[in-house]
Amino acid sequence: MYKKKLKHSEEVLQELLKSQGLSRRDALKLMGAASATTMLGSSPAMASSDVNAAAGSDKKAKIVIVGGGAGGIMAAARLRRSASNAEIILIAPNAIHLYQPGQVFMAAGLYTEADIQHKNSNLIPDGVKWLKDTVTEFNPDNNKVLTKDNGEITYDFLVVATGLDYAYEDIEGMSADLVGTKGISSVYLNNPAEGTAKGGTATHEWFKQLRAAAEKASPDNPVNAIYTQPDTPIKCGGAPQKILYLSDDYLRGNGPVGGSDVHNNVKSYFCKKGNTLFGVPDYNKTLVERITPMYGNITDKFNHVLRKIDADKKIATFEHTYTVKGDYDEDLEEYDIINKTENVAMPYDFIHIVPPMKPAGAVAASPLGWQKGSAKGWLEADKYTLQHRRYSNVFGIGDILGVPKGKTGGSARHHGPILQDNLVAAMEGKELTAKFDGYTVCPLKTQYGEVMLAEFNYKGKAPSFPLDPSEPRWIWWAFDLYMLKPMYWHLMMRGWM
């Protein structure tokens, strides 16, 4: 049971602290430092990315920020402080702001939707004009955007903070409306413009339905559960596995309601592109060698990408890519490698679908996106300075950035001071010296009561803390569950950390 496990984890924590000569007071400091260094951190962000102290500018300029999610609100708060004479306009349709990482805790039955909602009017800083509107067209050649209700808005500097869009419909037979019906769920489903997070609520119901079915099944006649991950970039790349492990642990009776261990009555399949569970080797090792075997009922189906679903018949069809050895090439003195693709139909009782994700529509349709290649449509920003590579008065923050890493709130947090410094430098006509290092954080919930705090950047593993980051720990679970959310609202959204 979850409470029992917490007690146990508490004992483990005490032992850990004792062995390291740390007091409980030190532990709390540690958690503060940890949160500061990850999603919400202040000075550690500066340490991990190369940032000058934002000097500020008293130049007159009109700055337009598009998008009022994590990145947009943070950019508004930071720029309001650093650009004292600038007119700052935030174009954002949403009255409610969502703390999206909390959708996983909603699925786990530990948060409600109300827990992750906050009025945007309380977050938008004084001195920033809020235009409750949506940008329908970006026109960077003429320094203006077109809005749905307020016509054209011109700017001297533009900050693009639109996040990304889901593309459930890119899976044949699938639509967002199916989430919460016919054994289908998807923790990601939300509507940032409306401030609702159906995916969290529906996935908790799905946990309960899966458990109810497992209680009636047996290892010889098991329930089939499929968990998918698409082949597009996604925000919070660890969330597909968070749901896999938390739902399996819920079956073991470790969720908030407890119950007997029925997880062996469920056969779980995790289907994704590629042949690793995590791109950083040390974190992958923990997942492959310890977490997957710990559950025992999970089969990883690598290079399986969901392409089609028959919701009525409960059949999911995957594109399976693989290679076979061809003829021996005498000249090259090696065998040809032949790429093959086949469709694999898998019946299921329950399926958790992570949608393909794509750049926000208005950005993708504009000249601001990469024009070709795998990043096509995502904001064509320099991966270090976050400045647009073709339009020097345009900057980006958050998930919309077409840079190699960093589609997490923690990354947006680290983009904040870089954007602040570099946009102010651009206003002053100075060189842009602040550099984003690719910081990304994934608090991967490996079971109820434990999180592996996977932090990495362009160079690889990037722990901000002197504890082995590949080790799942209760302390990270506790700060993720109890501390990150208030810090997000009160410090990160204010641009203080």
Ligand X SMILES: Cc1cc2nc3c(=O)[nH]c(=O)nc-3n(C[C@H](O)[C@H](O)[C@H](O)COP(=O)(O)OP(=O)(O)OC[C@H]3O[C@@H](n4cnc5c(N)ncnc54)[C@H](O)[C@@H]3O)c2cc1C
Binding site for ligand X (CB under 6 A): 39, 66-72, 91-94, 100-101, 103-104, 134-135, 161-163, 187-188, 192-193, 235-236, 239, 360, 362, 398-400, 407-410, 412, 441, 443
Q: How far is the CB of 402 from ligand X (least distance, A)?
A: 12
Q: How far is the CB of 122 from ligand X (least distance, A)?
A: 15
Q: How far is the CB of 131 from ligand X (least distance, A)?
A: 9
Which C-beta is closer to ligand X: that of 57 or that of 450?
450
**Edge-to-edge, what's the strand order for the sheet holding 144-147?**
135-139, 144-147, 151-154
Which candidate in 98, 287, 442, 453 is catalytic?
442
Which C-beta is closer to ligand X: that of 223 or that of 386?
386
Task: Give the C-alpha separation, 178 to 191, whole Å.
Answer: 15
Which C-beta is closer to ligand X: that of 166 or that of 253?
166
For ligand X, the nearest residue by Cβ is 69
Which C-beta is closer to ligand X: that of 199 or that of 253?
199
83 contacts 163 by C-beta, under 8 angstroms: no
**Edge-to-edge, what's the strand order for the sheet holding 394-396?**
128-131, 87-91, 62-66, 157-160, 394-396
333: left (phi over 0), alpha (psi -120 to 50) or beta: left
The CA-based dihedral angle spanning residues 128, 385, 433, 389, taken in that order and rounded to the nearest 10 degrees: -100
Among candidate residues 8, 439, 40, the one with its CA nearest the CA of residue 254? 8
Which C-beta is closer to ligand X: that of 189 or that of 225?
189
Q: How far is the CB of 363 from ligand X (least distance, A)?
A: 7
209: left (phi over 0), alpha (psi -120 to 50) or beta: alpha
Which C-beta is closer to ligand X: that of 72 or that of 125?
72
Task: Give the C-alpha separation, 382 to 418, whole Å.
Answer: 12
Q: How far is the CB of 408 from ligand X (least distance, A)?
A: 3
240 contacts 354 by C-beta, under 8 angstroms: yes
Give the other-Cβ count within 10 Å of 107's Cβ: 30
Dihedral sign for Cα atoms in the order 399, 226, 300, 474: positive
216 contacts 228 by C-beta, under 8 angstroms: no
Q: Is 271 labeled as catalytic in the residue annotation?
A: no
Which C-beta is closer to ligand X: that of 161 or that of 176?
161
Q: Is 236 labeled as catalytic in the residue annotation?
A: yes
Which candidate in 88, 236, 277, 441 is catalytic?
236
Q: How far is the CB of 91 from ligand X (least distance, A)?
A: 5
Among candidate residues 99, 37, 440, 69, the one with its CA nearest the CA of residue 237? 440
Give the length of the chain. Answer: 497
Q: How far is the CB of 480 from ligand X (least distance, A)?
A: 7
Q: How far is the CB of 261 from ligand X (least distance, A)?
A: 27
Task: Give the C-alpha separation, 111 to 99, whole Å.
Answer: 11
Among candidate residues 73, 77, 80, 76, the one with its CA nearest the CA of residue 99? 73
Which C-beta is closer to ligand X: that of 89 or that of 223?
89
Among candidate residues 10, 7, 283, 245, the one with its CA nearest the CA of residue 108? 245
Tokens of 234: 């996604």
Q: How far is the CB of 234 from ligand X (least distance, A)?
A: 9
Which C-beta is closer to ligand X: that of 265 or that of 395?
395
Q: How far is the CB of 59 from ligand X (least distance, A)?
A: 26
Which C-beta is closer to ligand X: that of 214 or that of 451?
451
**Catalytic machinery residues:** 236, 442
